[in-house]
Amino acid sequence: MNFRHLATALTCATGLLGFASPLLAQTAYPDHPVKIIVGLPAGGSVDMIARSLGQKLSASLNQPFIIDNRAGASGQIGMPAVAKSAPDGYTLTVSPASFLTTNKSIFKTLPYDPEADFTPVARLVNQPMVLVVKDKQKYPTLAAFLAAAKAAPGQITFASSGDGSPQHLGGLMFETRTKVQLLHVPYKGGALAVNDTLAGTVDAMFAVLPEALPHIQAGKLHALGIMSPQRTAKLPNTPTMAESGIADLSLSAWIGLLAPAKTPRPIIDKLNSAVRAAMDAELTAKLGESGIEVAPSSPEELQRTIAADIKLHAELVKAAGLTPQ
């Protein structure tokens, strides 16, 4: 072989190696442990989803998926940590909708951009919202609760897990659609909010179904209405808001899996496929017992959902007359 032929052969070989390297990288991912940052304390529904998913992904992708709880400031501790991580698929986040949607309207500034700083992988689940009260005699129906709110503007209290949380947004949406004024009482976490609702310290809570369901089933909380287009199988006798005469009052506290912006598409696709496989009959049944609806999506669908919800939530915050903090 003369020099020209040798140079040509080497050039072709180099080109083939360059073409193959992304495929090799895709095949190899993941080759060491993956961290899933959750911007909420351990024990809540988001943390539970992250841990259930992490176990499934660990088994299917043959690497540990480690949950790292970085709670506080309505996601403003955990989310920036993900945004600033290398876009290599080894740092992910399981996030509630509010960190990606409502926060943009609730806070004047955020240490992360919900759309520019993340690459969606998949929506994981939907969580219906339900209006619950402690005092069943005082508020036997949604109509009775609404009448009391109209009669005493700003005096009926509702608890949430913090500003911009799904529970807060549920209250804002209820106020906007019914033209009533409630008093928001934020807590540092859903468990504290539920506890004070159980104690009667606050009148009501627009709760994420999994956090309220055990107390509803035990008769300690009374469900007035579901904020979904249809009734939930776990509370078949609880009407939807629409059935009770309040139109356009539907809200889901969805949870999604995201990676840092610019994470390569082959990694996103591999994770999305693994997520869909993880949402099997076993996990669907397990989550369904808590009132959680499995709803895996494509990356593009989650991106559209985030954009649409940012717009909707901004309109709700503005209509409620809230000033960003």
Q: Is the pLDDT of residue 11 over 90?
A: no
Share of the chain above pLDDT 70, in %: 91
Q: Is the pLDDT of residue 6 over 50?
A: no
CA neighbours closer than 13 Å in the CB half-sphere of residue 313: 30
- The mean pLDDT value for 255-274 works out to 98
pLDDT at position 19 is: 46
Tokens representing residue 91 in the block: 């740092």
pLDDT at position 159 is: 97
Q: What is the DSSP letter of 157?
A: E
Interior CA angle at 295 toward 102 and 43, to 5°? Answer: 65
Point out which residues pair with 204 in neighbouring strands: 133, 158
pLDDT at position 84 is: 98
More confident residue, 144 or 18: 144
User: What is the spatial distance between Cα 24 and Cα 186, in angstroms, rounded to a whole number?
Assistant: 49
- 3-state secondary structure at position 235: coil
pLDDT at position 163 is: 76
Query: Domains (ranges, CATH) in the chain?
Result: 33-126+254-319 (3.40.190.150), 129-226 (3.40.190.10)
Q: Is the Cβ–Cβ distance between 103 and 310 less than 8 Å? A: no
Identity (one letter) of the amino acid at 162?
A: G
- The mean pLDDT value for 137-152 works out to 96
Point out which residues pair with 92 in neighbouring strands: 36
Share of the chain above pLDDT 90, in %: 70
Least confident stretch, 8-22, 118-132, 158-172, 198-212: 8-22
- The mean pLDDT value for 125-133 works out to 95
